[in-house]
């Protein structure tokens, strides 16, 4: 068994289920998850935070910046780049691929998946609980994605987006000026 396979097994069957950061023993659990998972990712910054129950496949298509967190029970599928200082609430789903459906002569279940389209999350981004980010989306620096948002299009820097489909609902610079 390769070291990568061993690390992945250790994470999936052990470290993934250790206590959350806010629970007793959480600080140690957080350090264990970081030590096991950091080498799995394509690239990592300093002090990354992988929370209880997070899923990211093999991790080899994920880039995660310094001081960024993958929240409780979050799922990352396909090529994803996460900048520095990114916060993710629980149950966030980021998908860089989708089911294929263009062949009307075949059931969708038989068509496999579409080509991957990298999802890019900028620096200093807050993604609220249960948000879903779909293939090819870029979220700009200093952005807030509201809880439950379904992000189907790019979101510019400093914007606040929410809804299904997500739309811009504010600008952080305007809020800061008040």
3-state secondary structure string across 33-45: HHHHHHHHCCEEC
Q: Which of 49, 77, 95, 99 is catalytic?
A: 99
Where does 1-54 show beta strands of DSSP type E? Answer: 43-44, 49-50
Crossing angle (nearest 10°) for helices 3-13 and 26-37? 150
The two three-digit tokens of residue 81, written as one number: 């780049």
Question: Can you list the pairs that 159-168 forms with residues at least 24 positions away whose Cβ atoms lie under 8 Å?
Answer: none
- Is 142 annotated in the active site? no
Rounded Cα–Cα distance for residues 111 and 113 (Å):
7
Q: Are strands 87-88 and 43-44 parallel, antiparallel or unpaired?
A: unpaired
Active site residues per annotation? 99
């Amino acid at each position: 068994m390769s070291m990568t396979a061993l690390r992945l097994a250790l994470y999936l069957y052990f470290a993934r289920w250790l206590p959350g950061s806010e629970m007793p023993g959480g600080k140690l659990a957080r350090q264990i998850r970081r030590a096991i998972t950091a080498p799995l990712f394509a690239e990592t910054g300093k002090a990354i935070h992988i929370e209880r129950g997070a899923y990211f496949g093999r991790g080899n298509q994920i880039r995660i910046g310094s001081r960024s967190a993958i929240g409780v029970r979050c799922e990352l599928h396909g090529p994803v780049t996460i900048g520095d200082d990114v916060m993710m609430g629980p149950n966030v789903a980021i998908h860089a691929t989708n089911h294929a459906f263009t062949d009307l002569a075949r059931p969708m279940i038989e068509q496999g998946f579409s080509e991957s389209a990298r999802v890019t999350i900028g620096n200093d981004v807050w993604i609220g609980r249960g948000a879903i980010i779909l293939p090819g989306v870029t979220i700009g620096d200093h952005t807030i994605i509201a809880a439950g948002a379904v992000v189907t299009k790019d979101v510019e820097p400093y914007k606040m987006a929410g809804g299904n489909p997500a739309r811009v609902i504010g600008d952080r610079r305007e809020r800061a000026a008040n």
